[in-house]
Amino acid sequence: MDLKGKNALITGSKQGIGKAIAIKLASEGCNVGVNDIVKDEFAIATIKALEKYNVNVSWHKADVAVKQQTDQMIEDFVNEHSGIDILINNAVSSIKKPFLEISEQDWEFEVGNALKGYLFCSQTAAKEMIKSNRPGRIVSISSVHSFAAAKDNTVYGICKAGINRMTMNMAQELGQYNIICNAIAPGYIDSRELPKDQEYMRAGEGYADNAKQYIPIRIGGVPDNIANMAVALCTSVGNYVNGQTITIDGGLLTGFPVPDSELGI
């Protein structure tokens, strides 16, 4: 799919991975919708960065956990851009708690934004694509936590595993409409907001230093690692990739789950 002139909505895109994906899509000629729960200095800076690519940029405030808000967001996006071609499900908010301390409120909050929101954003966007008879791409951001357990991350991991499974069903059921659906599972990605004069520090010393010993290439990832794959899946590169969860973790998950004592780890 040629991205020039296509319309892409990215949830949770005021900063971090979502911002990187939005910028990469805009650089390829996509009109972009920026979504987040608040329009703060980061959101404004992202919008300004996108406008430099001379594409149509729109802002959409919405809580992805609330279907009424996401339905309105997608309706507004379609009205603004005369259709939707690409949806990137990226928004998430995580609560880290030990398993025995997870409350019902914690569950509802995290499942709402990290799984329910992905499902209903995808459903509403797909309906718009089908209605306008246009091929589409839906890419959802999962996590390595969907494949391996980590302390205090139970609900987050459940949601991310659910995204992988949901992506398979979406691919199976939406393929007849030429809507291709995939997920990306990032590993350690340094998505901090850094001043320009400190950008050289991204994923370098001081970021996830303890984890790097388990990553074969011994480095952390950067948002562009995820953005490049997300955009590739929306181009002709992704024409025959469907229903997959692609892991981008520097090889983290290739490691034996129990450290080898002979290596002194």
Q: pLDDT by residue (tens digit) across 206-265?
A: 777 788 888 999 988 999 999 999 999 999 999 999 999 999 999 999 986 655 544 444
8 A C-beta contact, residue 65 and residue 116 = yes
Question: Is the confidence at residue 50, as pLDDT, over 80?
Answer: yes
Residue-level pLDDT at 257: 60
The phi, psi pair for 122, rounded to 5°, reads -65, -45
Find the Cα–Cα–Cα–Cα dihedral 46, 52, 58, 64, rounded to 10°: -30
Q: Mean per-residue pLDDT for 108-120? A: 97
Residue-level pLDDT at 1: 78
Superfamily of domain 7-263: NAD(P)-binding Rossmann-like Domain (3.40.50.720)
Domain boundaries, the chain: 7-263
3-state secondary structure of 27: helix
Number of H helices, E strands in the chain: 8, 7
**In whole angstroms, how far apart are CA 170 and each of 57, 142, 248?**
27, 15, 21
pTM of whole model > 0.85? yes
C-alpha 263/C-alpha 130 separation (Å) is 54
Residue-level pLDDT at 211: 81
Q: pLDDT by residue (tens digit) across 81-104?
A: 999 999 999 999 889 999 999 999
Residue-level pLDDT at 194: 64
Helices of type H across 36-186: 41-51, 67-81, 104-111, 117-131, 154-174
8 A C-beta contact, residue 59 and residue 38 = no
Contacts of residue 28, defined as CB under 8 A and 6 or more positions apart, other chains included, come to: 3, 4, 231, 235
Residue-level pLDDT at 71: 98
Structure-model confidence comparison of residues 202 and 140, the more confident one:
140
Residue-level pLDDT at 265: 40
